[in-house]
Every structure is written in C-alpha cells, then in structure tokens.
A and B are shown apart, each in its own frame.
Chain A
C-alpha cells in the first residue's frame, strides 16, 4: 500500500476521528462556533476518506485485525471484506454530504444543545462504522446498541415536546425487540461452543431446522431496524421528530446497516459458500417485501406531513430492497447463483441509491422547515420562487426516487426487473410464475411513487401560497444557506453519477457477490459491460446505456428548442392565469395534499382506517375533517400493548412494598433452587 494505510486501519482511524471530534466538541464548553465550523466539516472530510477506503476494500482480499479492547479473553475482532467495503463507502459518501449540510443547518442552534448534538451525531457515525467493521457477535452487538442509543438521543433532541418523547420511546422499544432477536440469532448460530467470532459462526454446521430458526430471527431482528411491515411503526414517528440531518442519516444510512446485517447473516454466516440458503426463505422475504413496498407507498400517498411522507417512502424502498434480496435467495436456493447474484446486486445497488436520494430529499425537507418553519404540505405552495436552488435539488431527488431514467433510482429498479425476468430458469412451476407477480408489485409501486412526488413537488414548490401573504411566511422564505446547498449538491451529483455510470458499480457489486456466494454474473454480462453499456445477462437479452440515453434526450430537447427559436418570431406576453370565465378564484382553491390523495383513498379504501367528519347541511360553520390512521396500530400494536399492560399489572400484584414479603420471596426461591437444582 505504500504510504497509504491499509483500508482496515484507515477505516478504524476514520471511526476514531469521529469519536475524537465528538468528544473534542465538548472541551471549549458552550462554544457553538467550534462545533459548526470544525466538527461537522471535519466529520465530512473523514466521511470522504472512509468512502475512498471502502472503495479500495472492495477490490482487495479480506483483512482482519484484533483490538486489545473489550472484556478479558474476549477482544474485539475487526474485518473488512468487499461487502463491508461497499457499505463503508455508502456510509462515508452519504454522511459526508449530510455533515456538510448539518454545518449549515445548525447555524442558529444554541451552543449547549449544539455541542450535545455534535457529540451524539459523531458517536452515531462511529458506531455505524463499527457495526460494519465488526467480526464478532460481541463487538457487533455493542456497536449496534451504541448506534440505537445515540440515534435515540438525537431523535429526542426536542424532548420538551411530549409527542417527540413518545416517538423516541417507540423507536427505542422496537429497536430493542429487534436487538433481542439478533442476539438470539447469534446464540442459535453459536450453538454453545464459546467462540463468538464470525469465523466460528460461519463454520458452524447447523441442522436445517435450526438454520431456518436463525434465518427467521435475523429477518425479524434486522427487519425491525430496517422498517419492514409490520415493524415499521417507529419510522413515521421517529423520522419527523428528529432534526432533518439526523432524519437523513437515519433514513439514508442507519436503516441500511440493517440491510447489511441481513445480508451478512443470511448470505455469509448462515448460507455462504456451503449453499445453505433455502428458496423457501426467499419466498418469505419476497412476500414481506412486496407487502412492505405497497403498504409504504400507499400510506405515503395520504400523508400531508412532508417528513412523515418521506419516512413512509423509506418503508417502501426497504420493501424494494427486500424484493431484490428475496429473488437472490430464491435463485440461489434453486441452484442458479448467476441469477441470484443479479438479484443481490440489484438489492445492494438500490440500497446505495436510496441512501443518496432519500438523504437528499430529507435535507430538502429540512431546508423548507428551516426557512418557513413548515412541515405540513397543505400550508405550502410556490416555494420554487423563494427557494429556486433548493427546488432544483429537490426535483432531482424526486425524479430519482420516482425511478425515472436517466437517474439512479431507475437503474436499480431496472436491475430488479431483470432479476425477476430470469424466472424462466427455475424448475418449480409455482415459484416461476409467482416471481413476475413481484415484479408487477414493483411496477405498481414505482408508478405510485411518481404520483406521490408529483403531489409533494406540485403542492410544496409549485403553484401559489395557499394563505394570503400577511398570514404566511412563504413569500419571505429565503433559499438554503451555502453549506446546506453544498450538502444537497453533493448528494444530487451522486444521483447523476450513480444513474449515468452504473457499470463500474455493477462490477464492484459483482465482486461482493463473488465474495459472498462464490459466483458472479455470467461471462457474457462482464464482457458486454463497458463503461457505456449496462448488461446484466447478455447483450441482446437486455442492455441499457444511461449515458447515450441522457445525451440523446438532452440533445433532442435542445434541438427542439433551437428549431423553435430559429423559425419562431419569439414574442411573449405575460398575463394573469386564465380563470375559465370565473374571476373569483383564489389560491385557496388549489389542490391540497389531502385532495391529491383523495383518488387513492377512494381506490384503496379498505387498507386505510379513516375517520371522516362531513359538515351537515345546517351547520353555520361547516368544518370538514379527515384523519387517516395506520391499521397496524389497531390490529397489532394496541392489542400487544394492552396484553403487556395486563400481564405487568398481574405481576405487579407480587410487589407489596413490604420488606418481609420480599424476604419471603427470596426464601421461597432459595428453597426451590435447593430442591430442584441441587
């Protein structure tokens, strides 16, 4: 490596820098300028370095290291391999943009609060790096819990509001349910041999039924963190509660560490080269993934709180990633690793793409919140005039998440479709005809997403402010500050790079696939893929060239423009909008976010729980109100909560508060132990 540190040592160094930045921000107590001017930009630089190291790691053989930390006889093991390298790159590159943005976003924060935010923020980043570097279950769980706790404290930054404390509690609760499942999963894999390194877990020979138990535990545990249904309930509560850069980190990166964990445990620790992955598991993942996808987007469509809406879209995109992973497992389970690797690549590429565009969208939402103080779409309108730059970046994010070519969201959905179209190789007739149905789900979700972002963009940025000028902050809304804009520009550029040059990432992910399953894409695919062409299977079967596509669409659009300019006289007049003969129109008559979702509520009525109050004919002050709730609360969460409350109220009977009673309990326990255990 020469003067460069080895990637593993370098990554460790970056994590160390984040920890140092976290603590250093505290030393000149109460000095916000330090945190703003140095801590966040330094954190961003470290992120860029981490991205470079991760990129390098993908192309190198795995490296290991043992840290002399931890408990006696239980040191921390570290390892990087292509999979970890890919996620380190994701963490570094996306967090760099968010950190730059944060430096601008927190400019008006009080200094005491800001130093605390900086501490938690950088500990959060470092813990995510350690999750990716960990090579034993012990360090993994320590880092995983640190991540959960530091993000919990970030979520409840505004802890004086009861709603935010509630959101934080819900998040902590589900995070710990997940953590328990993950812990149990490691326990099953471990099988009582006393060695918790991933190497030992990998070598364990599991009975098929125990392997299935381990799979289900891992799927449940990591799924809780990722936000798959029905464990998604914390996402739409916690994401809006947190400050916007933190929402971007959580939605962009943290829920991706759950995807990392899922891939690590299922494909590496349980399955791996030995081919233990079963296709039935894949079907479970596919069904849950399809449900998550549709559910997420349908609920996003009826939201009017911008950040809540984006959180539901994170649920949807996790579903899309799960669809890719499920297809990979089905193909590998049936013995078609080349098609399986394609599914895996699609899932991982969508993981990266979602991190980039969802980070961008949350930052854009943050800028709107910052300059107008609004999160409710129904109050917005016409922001493109006051904040044209934010509007431009947000448009890129909106087009990317709607899976429109030539941006990045399209590429990963395209790859997922291609994976689904490989279904013809499967032997099992039922599975073979089911797989395209999941592709249909994906197509439906993609089109619904486009509808949802027409709503978001059209209501928030286009049109006119819905309230009169003296009652609305919108006409005075200024654009985002320079640091905020640089952060958004970085991620917007990412949308273009990932969309236009997917082939280099395809080859990179192919290496991840090879390192996990021992197989890669077919030779035809690798020969066909130059920098220009994206070829997942073979040229002639499927190919896509985003660069040519982009150049041609820009060229023909410009050509049309120039031709019109050339032959047209070019006269333009300005006037009021056409009122269709009814001059009394006001901006209040524009569509609102709720109105835009009305057809969806009509078509998909049964899946929502709606409470609608219509005004009666005699009302002197007619009011219309509508409340749309998540059905999961009523059939799952509330019954479980009631059951838990009931059980704990019964257990509380044991607590009499008198010391003699407690001594009696100890005495009985002692006797019982003496009798039974001996």
Chain B
C-alpha cells in the first residue's frame, strides 16, 4: 500500500498545502479589494502578518489552563492532518486509507470543539458568546457536510475520498443532478465553516456580530499566528475538497511524477477561480442576522439530503 514515491508524494502534498494556504487567503483578500474598488494589499500580506505575529511576545491571562495553551497546536495539527487526507495534488496517497470522509468531518469537529473550549477557558463574556455561536453554526454545518459527502459516496460506492475522486475523475462526462444539489449545499457549508459572509465576517470585530473573532479574542503572538495559519489551511482544505468532488479533472496518481506539473497547474487555475468566486460572493452578499444562520444552514442540509434522495430516484 505504501511505497517510496507514494510517501514522497504524501509529504510533498502536506508541506505544499501548509505553505500555500496563506497565499490563497492573500489572493481572496486581493480579489475582494479589487471588487470593492480599494487598492489591493500585497498577495504576500498573510505571510508578513504571520511573521510579525511570530516575533511578538505572547500574553496569557492569569487563569489560562493547559487547554488554552495547547489548543493552537491541536488546531494546527488537525488542519495539517486534514491537508494530508484530501487528495489535493494526487489520489492514492498512502495516508488516505487511514481516514475516510467521515473521519475527515470528525477532524474538523475535533478542531471546532477545542477552539470552543479554549474560548471559554478564560471566562470572559465574549469567549462564551463566541463558543456558543460557533457550536450553533457547527451543529448544522457538520451534518450538511456529511450528507454532501455521502451523496458522492453513494455515486462511487465508497467513503474513501481518494476512491471517490478516482471514480469521479475518470468517468464518462455525465451530469449528475444529485451532485448539483450537493455542490450548492457544499458551497453553503464552506461559507459557514470558514467564517465567511453571509454567516460571519472575517474582517469584523463588532461584538454583536462576530463569531470566529470572538473565539480567538484572547490569543496573541505565536498562538494567534498558529490559529490564523490553521484557518488558512482549513479554507484551503475545504476548497480542495470541493474541487476534488465537483471538478476533479487533472489530478495526478500518487507516484506519477510526470503528471505532477499538470496537476499543479490545474490546481492553481481552479483555486484562483474559486478564490475569485469567494471574493465575489463576499462582495455581493450582506451578512445575515445570527438567527438566520440556522435557516441558511438547514437549507444546505435539506439540499444535501435532497441530493442524496435524487441519486436514488434517478438511479431507479
């Protein structure tokens, strides 16, 4: 199951995702600035921010428990692990069979649980508020995500992401109505899970509306840098999951070095489009009131379930 080129691919992909993730965030920010008629920040700004944060002194509250100290590392580890599971550049990676789509959703849930716990650790009112809102969004987004993935799992008869992508990438070109439903649902989940407009605004610190920023209010310096980095990897991972499910063409097989440049180019092109699309969505939409978020997400959940039912109905 594991061979030297396979392992080389695995390490290459994991390192690539970790290093490239801030670039994607920079690209989305740049696109958004253009769309909003502002002068765009540098593409590399997220890297400068990380470097700046890593150079600062960390500040802890007096009451901080080990959970608070360890959560940034756990978050970073979870996202790094997710980056190893998703077939970003190649399918058939040696680590892939260790965790399927359900485990992938589990990794994100683990990260969410720890970040919510860390937010409540200091005992400020904003931390609890953020944790409550984050879990409110999570409990609807997580099943919607799982149902989206199950639709793809039913089509390919497997819960292995790598097998799913293999099946979908090498099929005859055909329109699956079930996948169309799933794609819309997935997009909605992506926006919610990554704290994007219309569910949350990544650039706000307004206490009435913030979700994700309330969670990490107490963090500073290296811990904040790790969390920001993990958030960037999460966005990258979600986008590549979407690409893997709904536009998998061009992905390489593990160990096939000759296909790698093409896979890189395809991935870069698709991510550039997806990032621009995200910026467009964030420019066109306004943020929803908090209690419209459950409605937004239950729509996503219903769409995903509908997609799954469509699969059974169309197949007969």
Contact = CB atoms under 8 A, between A and B. Distances in A.
A596 B122 contact: no
Interface string B115-139: 0110111111111110111011011
Contacts of B129: 591
A494 B299 CA distance: 39
16 contacts: A404-B113, A414-B102, A421-B159, A443-B142, A444-B139, A446-B143, A447-B138, A447-B142, A447-B143, A448-B139, A458-B128, A463-B127, A545-B97, A549-B98, A577-B63, A591-B120
B76 interface: yes
Contact of B309 (A395, A433, A569): A433
Contacts of B150: 421, 436, 439
Given A421-B150, A437-B305, A540-B163, A381 B123 contact: yes
Given A574-B62, A599-B294, 9 more contacts: A395-B67, A403-B109, A421-B159, A541-B157, A553-B81, A568-B222, A575-B59, A578-B218, A580-B124
A432 B315 CA distance: 12
A469 interface: no
A424 B97 contact: no
Contacts of B163: 540-541
Nearest to A445: B143
B61 A429 contact: no
A363 interface: no
Contact of B116 (A414, A447, A454): A454
B235 interface: no
B234 to A, nearest CB: 14
Contacts of B99: 405, 544-545, 549
Interface in B262-315: 291, 294, 301, 305, 308-309, 312-313
Contact of A575 (B61, B112, B113): B61
A357 to B, nearest CB: 15
Given A404-B113, A454-B116, A541 B142 contact: no
A290 B222 CA distance: 44
A590 to B, nearest CB: 5
A576 interface: yes
A416 to B, nearest CB: 10
B74 A557 contact: yes
A539 B158 CA distance: 9
A418 B120 CA distance: 34
B268 to A, nearest CB: 25
B125 A589 contact: yes
B57 A560 contact: no
Given A573-B57, A591-B128, A544 B139 contact: no
Interface string B49-69: 000001101111111010100
Tell me whether chain B's interface is mostly helix, strand or loop, or mixed: helix
Interface string B151-184: 0011001111001000000000000000000000
Contacts, number: 249
B67 A462 contact: yes
Nearest to B120: A458
A57 to B, nearest CB: 32
B218 to A, nearest CB: 6
Query: How many A residues are at the interface, by size bracket?
Result: 35 or more
B242 to A, nearest CB: 19
A572 B58 contact: yes
A595 B125 CA distance: 11
Interface of A: 381-382, 384-385, 395, 399, 402-405, 410, 414, 417-418, 421, 424, 429, 432-433, 436-437, 439-440, 443-444, 446-448, 450-451, 453-455, 457-459, 462-464, 533, 539-545, 548-549, 552-554, 556-561, 564, 567-569, 571-580, 585, 587, 589-591, 595-596, 598-600, 602-603
Contacts of A589: 125
Interface residues of B, number: 79
B154 A602 contact: no
B185 to A, nearest CB: 12
Given A450-B109, A552-B84, A556-B81, A382 B124 contact: no
Nearest to B63: A464
Given A405-B103, A462-B120, A541 B76 contact: no
Across the A-B interface, give the 9 residue pairs with the lowest CB-CB distance, nearest first.
A591-B128, A557-B77, A458-B120, A463-B123, A443-B143, A464-B123, A451-B135, A447-B139, A545-B98
B187 to A, nearest CB: 19
B124 A585 contact: yes
Given A457-B117, A557-B76, A424 B123 contact: no
B157 A462 contact: no
Contacts of B250: none
A454 B160 contact: no
B107 interface: yes
A440 B147 contact: yes
A479 to B, nearest CB: 14
Contacts of A573: 57-60
A291 B224 CA distance: 42
A443 B98 contact: no
A591 B58 contact: no
Nearest to A413: B102
A572 to B, nearest CB: 5
B97 A541 contact: no
Contacts of B103: 405, 410, 414, 544, 549
A572 B120 contact: no
A446 B226 CA distance: 28
B123 A403 contact: no
B126 A580 contact: yes
B135 A540 contact: no
Given A454-B120, A458-B128, A577-B122, A560 B97 contact: no
**Of A433, A440, A558, A559, most B-chain CB atoms within 10 Å:** A440
Contacts of B218: 577-578
A556 B97 contact: no
Contacts of B160: 540-543
A410 B99 CA distance: 12
Nearest to A441: B143
B305 A454 contact: no
Contacts of A545: 97-99
B73 interface: yes
A533 B97 contact: yes
A595 B132 CA distance: 9
B316 to A, nearest CB: 8
Contacts of A541: 157-160, 163
Contacts of B139: 444, 447-448, 450-451
A405 B62 CA distance: 31
Nearest to A384: B65
A594 to B, nearest CB: 11
B135 to A, nearest CB: 4
Given A443-B147, A457-B117, A572-B58, A382 B63 contact: yes
A395 B110 CA distance: 12
Interface string B94-106: 0101111011001
B12 interface: no
Given A549-B98, A553-B78, A571 B117 contact: no
A444 B143 contact: yes
Contacts of A548: 95, 98
